[in-house]
Structure 1
Amino acid sequence: MQRKKQNFIQGAVILMVASLIVKVIGAFFQIPLQNMIGGEQSPAFGLFSAAYRIYTAMLIISTVGLPAALSKMVAEATACGREREVRRIVRVAAGIFVPVGVLATMVLFFGAGTFASWIKNPDAQLAVMAIAPSVAMVAILSVFRGYYQGRANMVPTAVSQVIEAMGKLFAGLGLAYYAKQHGMEDAVVAALTVLGVTLGEVVAAGYMLVQAGISRRRSEPVHLLSDAIRPTRELAKTLLSLSIPITISSAVMSLTDLIDVALIAARLQSPAVGMSAEAATTAYGIYTGTVNFFNLPQTLITALAVSVLPTIASARASQNFTKVSKTMGTTLRLTMIITLPAGVGFLLLSGPILRMFYSVGVSEQGGPLMAMLGVAVPAVALVAVTNATLQAFGRIDLPLISMFLGAVVKMLGDYYLIGNPEFGILGAPISTAVCYWLIALLNLFHIGWLSHALPPLGKTVGRPLAATIGMGAATYICHTVLLRVLDTAPGTLLDKLVTLIAIAVAAAVYVVLLLMLRAIEREDVLLLPKGEKIANLLHLK
């Protein structure tokens, strides 16, 4: 099942491209879906979102730690030439986590009514039952993804992610359209829509099984540097000791999101705010619509984090600490280059961006929420890459501490801010920003303490920040001037065109400023496919 390795930037690029494709497919799914079953009146989209959040929480509890832990163990064993141990690690992982995924599916399916009642959305029961089988499918996917990522082969993971998204698009949107056309109740509409997620996971798991069979037949004999192989019990213990803390640290935030569902509904319905249950559910649906945009840069950085974990783990296993330092510096710099402009873009163009896809009413309510989430974009990205770095260092306890403290801040912020009529649902993105910045700063402190040095701030943060400030100024001027000159009405085709022009200008200005300030280095570009040609084209020395 082995093939030529990719360097960590190439692997990250493959996953980023897949993530962008998934997000585009997701937009073709999410935007028509919200316009079809959501908006300002129908609670169906809120029911769909609530069921999906419950599924995500159960998914993280049962499987999220596996790919990271498995990729670390596979990368380390591969670096030491222990091929027989690699195969045993995969068998042990499958023997533990696939049954756990099946058990989680059963709990979610048969306990759907309890979960739905807990979040004060009893109508979400059918939707929760429809999505329950996805957990077992993802457990199977997680084993294969962890193996391939540990081998520095990100292609199977990328392809399976696209398959998942395609299944959701065609099956989910098709079933939602069928349900609406036949006048079904909101609970049934939400259940049929979320069934598309399950069907996508089934097809993706089938692809991974076929891919594994093909890879096994094509595999060539591998020269063993070491015949050493640890006993099954020891490998299982190591796998669990890695995956459980990673799962807990991820579950802390996922469970906080789950509590977030209950807190938003409950606090918006409190006497101080005074929303009805239906209005609170609708407001939550609009908020999740803005979160989808917020997750786009995070998805790209997650791809970088997935690729960097086995790279650092492998380098440490082979005692190549120079590679560890270079990889860490490049990762943090690329994180800032990608996420700083995204955050500023959300701050400046939140309303116009939402108007490109949703009704004016939804954009007016969601604009301030999305703008505030822009503050959190760089922090969320830093959390992803610093968590992966600390896990590669073998300090899986430190992200757990940081995430727990952040979760406490998030829950307290939600409770007090959302229940305050001056903030209302705006309290949710505010507490999110504070939470993730706290976690990011704690993780950076831990990395500095472990490595005795962080990459230079000027190169890592200062230059991308300066380019972002220049980009933000150009974006604001361009958008403001065009709106005044053309005198556009919100939501019109011309209004959307102005937004696209402003985004294009922002991207062009940002790239020019990055090159002028030398925020991108030749070594970074050389890691890309066709890197030398790109570096020469950009005149990078």
Structure 2
Amino acid sequence: MQRKKQNFIQGAVILMIASLVVKVIGAFFQIPLQNMIGGESSPAFGLFSAAYRIYTAMLVISTVGLPAALSKMVAEATACGREREVRRIVRVAAGIFVPVGVLATVVLFFGADTFAGWIKNPDARLAVMAIAPSVAMVAILSVFRGYYQGRANMVPTAVSQVIEAMGKLFAGLGLAYYAKQLGLDDPMVAALTVLGVTLGEVVAAGYMLVQAGITRRRSEPVHLLSDAVRPTRELAKTLLSLSIPITISSAVMSLTDLIDVALISARLQSPAVGMTAEAATTAYGIYTGNAVNFFNLPQTLITALAVSVLPTIASARAAQNFTKVSKTMATAMRLTMIITLPAGAGFLLLSGPILRMFYSEGTVLGGQLMAILGFAVPAVALVAITNAVLQAFGRIDLPLISMFLGALVKIFGDYVLIGMPELNIAGAPISTAVCYWLIALINLFHIGRLSHALPPLGKTAGRPFAATVGMGAATYLCHTVLLRVLDAAPGTVLDKLVTLASIAVAVVVYVVLLLLLHAVEREDVLLLPKGEKLANILHLK
């Protein structure tokens, strides 16, 4: 029995909600954890962070490209009615990537001393061992997530993400509290805390196995399926040819981020800029801890949209439904602009006030850097969407090339711009914006070449941009007038209330302008859950 498919907007909304829930849970985990075992400067928290960085790097190597590659193959086989092949694809994926995940776990567990030595933090050994089993669990999760995403069912992925976060919250905090109560040393406190991450992954993997069992019982018996199936070797070759370039693309930017850590600090301490090591560390901490943290928030929503778009376009292309391909691509890009243009404008106009709502220090410099990053917000979102579109087109090589070129520009930009005394740390967000706009434009060029037509610029970006300009003007006026009338000093409760009021005005004005400019159409709203009712309320024709 086949369930009714979600359209790609419904799937994206489900993943967006899950991502926001995970972010909230993450905040509830991070803040009490820092209070319990100490802040970022404490040994226990440092060991926890070190082990988590090693774990993340191992995930990038072992499984990061799998869900996208598998969802594309499953979507294409489903669109062509090859149900037996879908099952074989999943078995092939599990046969390759679960052993790879298990091997990575074994290497991480027994090589914990070596990995801890590489990061010059030998006390992280126990924490690395505690998080090692998570890699195998994520390999299992990746197989099932790729399958369900290819089937246009984002619910299992969303639920498993929330389970992961809940496991980290309750098990991680619980074990950290238990360790502190027993008076254990910092390495053991970090190990028990990071064990919460592992337990969350175990429970999430268990949920996916149960969900897969339920799905299998509801599906048709294998002997009733008679469609042709490609050989296992061919499927394995296709899966690897898709997943490896996606993995390398992710690794390129991850590697660039690691290079950034050393490069930014080194350039700030160069004779041309002349910062002390302490001042450089402080500036870098403000940039990454304040500005970049907020910069990553809008991308959470767009990543969900990209995950949903890839199998939708892949299945439409497999079914030779090129009208749906064009329509899906246009809607995805328009929604990307509708979400990220106002976010970027908000960064540009209210970065300082927003940071003052959450931080007491570093808000002036952090606000300046965050404002510059506002120019990069739409670009990063376009990169995520265009990468997904090109992957759905089967051109996995093109995002890899554009990401590599962007990484080179980022490194070169950091070196040159941060070395200018008048820019110093501001060179980092400038090079980030240039890097991602370059990648986005290259990707758009390739999409236009492959599809023979890009979505109309006015409808896709022009109308949302006009609404953003109007919203920005209203927000600036509201914030400026309220500050003067109320005489709100920076950092006070009144200052924070003014910021919240300005954001509320921005949201209302932006929505009204979107409707007046017809940037949102009835057919877009109909794709949402309860879309027809909402379209009628908004009087969309």
TM-score of the pair, normalised by structure 1: 0.91
How far residue 270 of structure 1 moved from its aligned partner, in angstroms, is 5.5
Residue 83 (structure 2) aligns with: 83
Q: Secondary structure at the match of 1:540?
A: coil
How far residue 533 of structure 1 moved from its aligned partner, in angstroms, is 1.1
Residue 461 (structure 1) aligns with: 461
Task: Say if 1:423 and 1:113 are closer, same or farther in 2 by CA, change over 3 A.
Answer: farther
Contact 1:242 1:396 in 2 (8 A): yes
Moved more, 287-296 or 175-184: 175-184
Task: Say if 1:102 and 1:425 are closer, same or farther in 2 by CA, change over 3 A.
Answer: farther
Moved more, 210-219 or 528-537: 210-219
How far residue 249 of structure 1 moved from its aligned partner, in angstroms, is 1.3
How far residue 134 of structure 1 moved from its aligned partner, in angstroms, is 2.2
Please say if 1:432 is aligned against 2:443. no
Matches within 5 A, 1:144-183: 144-175=144-175
Residue 337 (structure 1) aligns with: 338
Contact 2:287 2:369 in 1 (8 A): no
Contact 1:108 1:132 in 2 (8 A): yes
How far residue 227 of structure 1 moved from its aligned partner, in angstroms, is 1.5
Q: How far does the alpha carbon of each residue in 1:317-346 deviate from its partner, in whole angstroms, 9 at most, with x for none?
A: 111111111011001000000011111112
Contact 2:382 2:440 in 1 (8 A): yes
Matches within 5 A, 1:491-530: 491-530=491-530
Q: How far does the alpha carbon of each residue in 1:166-186 deviate from its partner, in whole angstroms, 9 at most, with x for none?
A: 122233344556667788776
Task: Say if 1:407 and 1:105 are closer, same or farther in 2 by CA, change over 3 A.
Answer: farther
Contact 1:34 1:45 in 2 (8 A): yes
How far residue 304 of structure 1 moved from its aligned partner, in angstroms, is 0.8
Residues in 1 aligned to 2:182 and 2:287: alpha-carbon distance in whole angstroms: 25
Residues in 2 aligned to 1:423 and 1:363: alpha-carbon distance in whole angstroms: 17
Contact 2:264 2:284 in 1 (8 A): no
Residues in 2 aligned to 1:42 and 1:421: alpha-carbon distance in whole angstroms: 32
Please say if 1:402 is aligned against 2:399. no
Residues in 2 aligned to 1:324 and 1:476: alpha-carbon distance in whole angstroms: 39
Task: Say if 1:150 and 1:185 are closer, same or farther in 2 by CA, change over 3 A.
Answer: same
Residues in 1 aligned to 2:276 and 2:208: alpha-carbon distance in whole angstroms: 46
Residue identity opposite 1:15 in structure 2: L
Residue 303 (structure 1) aligns with: 304
Residue identity opposite 1:496 in structure 2: K
Matches within 5 A, 1:12-91: 12-33=12-33, 48-49=48-49, 51-91=51-91
Please say if 1:446 is aligned against 2:446. yes
Residue identity opposite 1:429 in structure 2: P
Residues in 1 aligned to 2:303 and 2:44: alpha-carbon distance in whole angstroms: 30
How far residue 425 of structure 1 moved from its aligned partner, in angstroms, is 4.0
Contact 1:53 1:258 in 2 (8 A): no
How far residue 138 of structure 1 moved from its aligned partner, in angstroms, is 1.1
Residue identity opposite 2:442 in structure 1: L
Residue 329 (structure 2) aligns with: 328
Residue 232 (structure 2) aligns with: 232
Q: How far does the alpha carbon of each residue in 1:290-324 deviate from its partner, in whole angstroms, 9 at most, with x for none?
A: 33322221111111111111111111111111111
Q: For this pair of structures, how many residues does the alignment match?
A: 540
Structure 1: runs of 5+ lacking an equivalent: none
Residues in 2 aligned to 1:385 and 1:256: alpha-carbon distance in whole angstroms: 20
Residue 196 (structure 2) aligns with: 196
Contact 1:71 1:150 in 2 (8 A): yes
Contact 1:352 1:499 in 2 (8 A): yes
Residue identity opposite 1:67 in structure 2: P
Moved more, 119-128 or 527-536: 119-128
Q: Secondary structure at the match of 1:356?
A: helix
Residue identity opposite 1:315 in structure 2: A
TM-score of the pair, normalised by structure 2: 0.91
Residue 320 (structure 2) aligns with: 319
Identity %: 86
Q: How far does the alpha carbon of each residue in 1:160-218 deviate from its partner, in whole angstroms, 9 at most, with x for none?
A: 11111212223334455666778877666655544433332222112111211222223
Task: Say if 1:289 and 1:173 are closer, same or farther in 2 by CA, change over 3 A.
Answer: farther
Residue identity opposite 1:239 in structure 2: L
Residue identity opposite 2:456 in structure 1: P
Residue identity opposite 2:155 in structure 1: V
How far residue 444 of structure 1 moved from its aligned partner, in angstroms, is 0.4
Task: Say if 1:434 and 1:110 are closer, same or farther in 2 by CA, change over 3 A.
Answer: farther
Task: Say if 1:316 and 1:221 are closer, same or farther in 2 by CA, change over 3 A.
Answer: same
Task: Say if 1:206 and 1:225 are closer, same or farther in 2 by CA, change over 3 A.
Answer: closer
